[in-house]
Chains A and B, each alone.
Chain A
Amino acid sequence: EAGVTQFPSHSVIEKGQTVTLRCDPISGHDNLYWYRRVMGKEIKFLLHFVKESKQDESGMPNNRFLAERTGGTYSTLKVQPAELEDSGVYFCATGLAVNNEQFFGPGTRLTVL
């Protein structure tokens, strides 16, 4: 079974530019989460989709971040305009609805210069 995939693996952009990260979940996983790890700190929750609906977006830092999951399959996370403090590793995790077990993707390392 294919795991969670994320694209790109690395992204280097300049402050003020736009970046879009993509996550493809494990087939059948209705729950999709975005997390972020900044500068070696803890992994922090950003938001949670159940199918195409945003269940909880309380972790989103500000309105420069926009997440979508059209059709309830893959998800995108767009940062516009990017700031220096947005640098970090962005993880996507997915899971079935019946328990809390979450499977992580490899992450996208974002560097904002």
Chain B
Amino acid sequence: GENVEQHPSTLSVQEGDSAVIKCTYSDSASNYFPWYKQELGKRPQLIIDIRSNVGEKKDQRIAVTLNKTAKHFSLHITETQPEDSAVYFCAQGGSARQLTFGSGTQLTVLP
């Protein structure tokens, strides 16, 4: 079945440093890879997504890279700020339309 592995489960960085979260997936038919940010007590919010015909996508301090051959994708946050602290989820979507999520990464940005 579909499976997404996400690492690390927790990540602490100093303010201003970069953070990288990695995910691997098993379903080769997957063609949509979103990243969600969930702040404490709030709803998961889509922050960036990438489709299988693109290798990299960037939006200000956030970037996502996709390697379809290796079946992994990564979230990169540069110049981290305290408000980036949250749980980040990667996910994969395909023809089935529902999303399969990773287990989440608790990111803490230390001031």
> Which residues of A pack against B, CB within 8 Å?
3-4, 31, 33, 35, 40-45, 48, 55-56, 59, 91, 93, 99-107
Contact = CB atoms under 8 A, between A and B. Distances in A.
Contacts of B96: 56
B46 A100 contact: no
A59 B98 contact: yes
A43 B44 contact: yes
Contact of A31 (B97, B100, B101): B97
A106 B42 contact: yes
Interface residues of B, number: 23
B34 A42 contact: no
B49 A42 contact: no
B63 to A, nearest CB: 18
Contacts of A35: 99, 101
A101 B34 contact: yes
Contacts of A105: 43
Contacts of B103: 41-42
Nearest to B103: A42
Contacts of A48: 97-98
